[in-house]
Amino acid sequence: MMRRLVAGGLVALLLTGCATGSPNGSPQASSSDSAAVGYAPPILDASELESIRDARVFFAHRSVGAEIVEQGVPAVYEEFDLPPLAANEDEGVAFFDDWLEQTEDPMDKLESFPAILAGDFPDGSVDVAFMKLGYVDIVEETDVEALFEAYTAMMDDLSASYPTVTFLHVTVTPTRWQPENNAKIEEFNELVRQEYADRGRLIDLAGALSQCPDGTVDRHETEEGDSYSQICEAFTRDGGHLSPEGAATAAAELLSVVAANLVDR
């Protein structure tokens, strides 16, 4: 029988324990919501993971994305007793990744992604490509609608320029600090979900990482009453970056969506 595994089961195998205390910097004026809403963990099987081995995938990111690529993806393949993906090979199939430019202006990342594609894959020689904004890019003062409009315009331009490439879309991972920033991240993520979820091209990292191993969602409200999700304590090592369990959880979500979008290619 083909081996299948719900992503939450993978995490359970990796977890040695799930702490319940609040870390330093977690929101004080908020209330937890124990009801899981919206996100359903993916069900992976070995054939899906093997299909990615025959593709060319490109992921542009910063530090959290690097943790997914360097820690999470290998952990998922190891759990299935599969050899790791070829990474950043010059020729043939591989999982390519690169770091986006980081400044105080997230618009620079929206310029960095097309520039990397044009430089590294001028002929569009990848099957699937996507980028990830980070939690530092969306703060309390961010004009979320303007950022989202710029993001969709950039992606529409890329789709027109590279018609053979399947472009995926990634939600921004929240933190365990600064509730007002997380509320803005939630606002952006909802726009991304509304635009892309029904197309089957959404990698919902925020949904994956805010749903804890027991199935509850780490959900809160700001003092002003704005609702938001934060990353589960088990999935972060410092309130923002990923623990090994968090990296594996995020990788399972990412790999599942990538594999689903390779089916018809």
Note the pTM of the prediction, 2 decimals.
Answer: 0.88
Contacts of 105 by beta carbon, 8 Å cutoff, 6+ apart: none
Domain limits, the chain: 39-260
Contacts of 56 by beta carbon, 8 Å cutoff, 6+ apart: 93, 94, 96, 125, 126, 127, 128
- pLDDT (0 to 100) of residue 138: 98
- pLDDT (0 to 100) of residue 10: 63
- pLDDT (0 to 100) of residue 12: 52
Nearest 10 degrees: CA dihedral of 232, 234, 240, 242?
A: -130
Q: Read off the DSSP letter of residue 58.
A: E
* CATH class of the domain comprising 39-260: alpha beta
- pLDDT (0 to 100) of residue 7: 60
- What tokens appear for 33 in the block? 């919501």
* Contact (Cβ atoms closer than 8 angstroms) between residue 105 and residue 74: no
The three-state secondary structure class of 45 is strand
- pLDDT (0 to 100) of residue 6: 56
* Contact (Cβ atoms closer than 8 angstroms) between residue 211 and residue 232: yes
Distance CA 47, CA 49 (A): 5
How many Cα atoms occupy the beta-carbon half-sphere of 91 within 13 Å?
0
What average pLDDT values come out for the chain (265 residues) when binned by 10 residues? 52 44 38 53 94 95 97 97 87 88 92 96 95 97 98 98 98 98 98 96 98 95 95 98 98 98 85
- pLDDT (0 to 100) of residue 5: 58
Which residue type sits at 239? Answer: G
